[in-house]
Amino acid sequence: MSDVILQLKNITKSFDGKMILNDFNLDIGRNEFVTLLGPSGCGKSTILRIIGGFVRPDKGRVLFEGEDITMLPPEKRNVNTVFQKYSLFPHMSVADNIAFGLKLKKKSSQYIKDKIDYALKLVNLDGYEDREPLSLSGGQQQRVAIARAIVNEPEVLLLDEPLGALDLKLRHEMQRELIKIKKEVGITFLYVTHDQEEALMMSDRIIVMNKGIIQQAGDSKSIYDEPQNAFVADFIGESNIIDGIMVRDCLVNIQGVDFTCVDTGFGENNPVDVVIRPEDLEIVKAGEGYLTGQVISIIFKGAYYEIKVKVDDYEWMIQSVDPAPIGEFVGLTIDPDNIQIMHKPVRDDEEVARDE
């Protein structure tokens, strides 16, 4: 990666004897929007706190523009953190909250005023400088917290699930605002979330984690279209994940039926995981597809119907714009390009973990 601004080198961290991160490595490029995505307890927030200086690693180094900052206190690092809890001072006005860090740095009054005006316009709160935080909505309070971080001109902005407390509409609004802010101010964003839709929408690069280990790193499209294991396939969007037997190159057996696919290099007659996205399955007349099953449920989701079809002991999920009556027998077909074959997990962190 060219122009790396931040590096984590061989980071190890335990809490109460439990290993959270073990020999963790990550490079972050200048002006990247990088999202750490994973279930609760996977280590993503610990990484943020280590970068921010709030937690020290047991082993390893944090490098900022090539300089070792592992032992530097938070106030001496050119990074700022925005947490899920806004941590605004209720007795101060919006302007005073934004100016707090600048006053500690003893900046001039005119400099502070200019920065407040700029930040409020950036987060669409122009004219709110005299308001008190408790008079604002949750989304507005979060914008003040972001403005307070940005006026300090950090080269890296750390965001720890900052939208988690907002309702769906506000969260979507703030996602768009963050994308706009990132483009306008030109700083590096490191964002932590467990919301895969949020990560897919906002990120230049997504780091999918489980149990302190990177499962896959890449842009939104590659993460969604080409998951590297069953955990990533299950965590990023909805997936049908079913046991299969790789008969030979470009031929996989699923539920006793041979499907043509495009994957090679899995050997012959080897057990594999087969991943098929619900939107890639097509419902046809019974007897016309690869498989025949019975519709057992249908839910209208607005843009599509979520339909479950039971074939033997497996329930296939299909997303379709056309409904299918419960109880009807239907066929299922799939384009070979949309069948993804992957090796069986070799570590427990690669296993599907829906309940974590």
pLDDT, residue 138, reads 81
- Tell me: do 213 and 250 sit in the same domain: no
Task: Note whether residue 255 is domain-resident.
Answer: yes
Express each pLDDT in 71-87 by its tens digit.
999 888 989 888 767 67
Domain co-membership, 181 together with 42: yes
Check whether residue 166 and residue 18 sit in a common domain.
yes
Q: What pTM did the predictor assign?
A: 0.85
In this structure, the answer to whether residues 204 and 263 fall within a common structural domain is no
Please state the rounded mean pLDDT for residues 208-223: 93
Asked whether residue 355 carries a pLDDT value surpassing 50, the answer given is no
Q: Which of 43, 5, 41 is nearest to 23 (CA)?
A: 43
3-state secondary structure 272-309: EEEEECHHHEEEEECCCCCEEEEEEEEEECCCCEEEEE
Q: Whole-angstrom Cα distance, residue 90 to residue 52?
A: 24
309 within some domain: yes
d(CA 240, CA 222): 18
- Domain of residue 327 covers 239-350
**How does the average pLDDT of the chain come out, rounded?**
90
In a domain, 105, yes or no: yes
Q: Has residue 248 been placed in a domain?
A: yes
User: How many Cβ atoms from other residues are within 10 Å of residue 346's Cβ?
Assistant: 9
In CATH, what number is assigned to the domain containing residue 72? 3.40.50.300
Which of 193, 225, 257 is the last residue in one of the domains? 225
Are 219 and 245 found together in one domain? Answer: no
Number of domains in the chain: 2
Residue 305 has pLDDT above 80, yes or no: yes
Would you say residue 194 lies in a domain?
A: yes
Model confidence over 272-293: pLDDT tens digits?
A: 999 999 999 999 999 899 999 9
* pLDDT at 1 exceeding the cut of 70: no
Intra-chain end-to-end CA distance of the chain, in Å? 32
| pLDDT value of residue 353 | 58
Structure token pair of residue 114 = 């200019």
176 and 255: one domain? no
**Which tokens sit at 128?**
């709110």
Residue found under tokens 């049908």:
240
- Give the residue from 200, 225, 250 where a domain finishes: 225
Q: Using 50, 70 and 90 to split pLDDT, how confident is the model at 271?
A: very high
pLDDT at 86: 67
Confidence at residue 4, expressed as pLDDT on a 0 to 100 scale: 93
Q: What is the pLDDT of residue 354?
A: 47
Do 112 and 167 fall within a single domain? yes
Residues 204 and 340 in one domain: no
Q: Which of 176, 191, 225 is the last residue of a domain?
A: 225
For the ranges 2-16, 102-116, 165-179, 306-320, which has the lowest average pLDDT? 165-179
Average pLDDT over residues 89-103: 89
In terms of domains, do 243 and 215 share one?
no
355 inside domain: no
pLDDT tens digits, one per residue of 336-354: 999 999 999 888 888 875 4
Supply the DSSP symbol for 113: H
Region 324-338: mean pLDDT is 95
Is residue 197 situated within a structural domain? Answer: yes
pLDDT-wise least confident of 57-66, 175-184, 194-203, 304-313? 175-184
Q: Which residues pair with 130 in a beta bridge?
A: none
Q: Give CA–CA dist 152/147, Å, rounded.
A: 9
Per-residue pLDDT averaged across 4-20, rounded? 94
Is 232 domain-assigned? no
Q: Among 33-42, 165-174, 218-227, 305-314, whose mean pLDDT is lowest? A: 165-174
Residue 348 backbone dihedrals phi, psi, to 5 degrees: -70, -20
pLDDT digits (tens, 9 = 90+) for 107-127: 888 998 998 998 888 888 888
For 39, 194, 236, the CA distances from 356, given in Å and listed in that order, are 6, 11, 14
Q: Would the pLDDT of 157 be above 70? A: yes
Is 25 exposed, middle or buried, given 0-12, 13-18 or 19+ CB atoms closer than 10 A?
A: exposed
What integer pLDDT is reported at residue 307 of this predicted model?
A: 97
pLDDT (mean) for 321-327: 94
**Any idea what the CATH number is for the domain that residue 315 is in?**
2.40.50.140
Whether residue 168 is found in the same domain as residue 141:
yes
Q: Are residues 269 and 291 in the same domain?
A: yes
How large a percentage of the chain has pLDDT more than 90? 58
| Mean pLDDT on 18-33 | 94
**Among residues 88, 144, 141, which one has the least CA distance to residue 116?**
144
Identity of the residue numbered 19: M
**Together in a domain, 332 and 200:** no
Arithmetic mean of pLDDT, 241-246: 95
Residue keyed to tokens 């999202």 = 35
pLDDT at residue number 256: 94
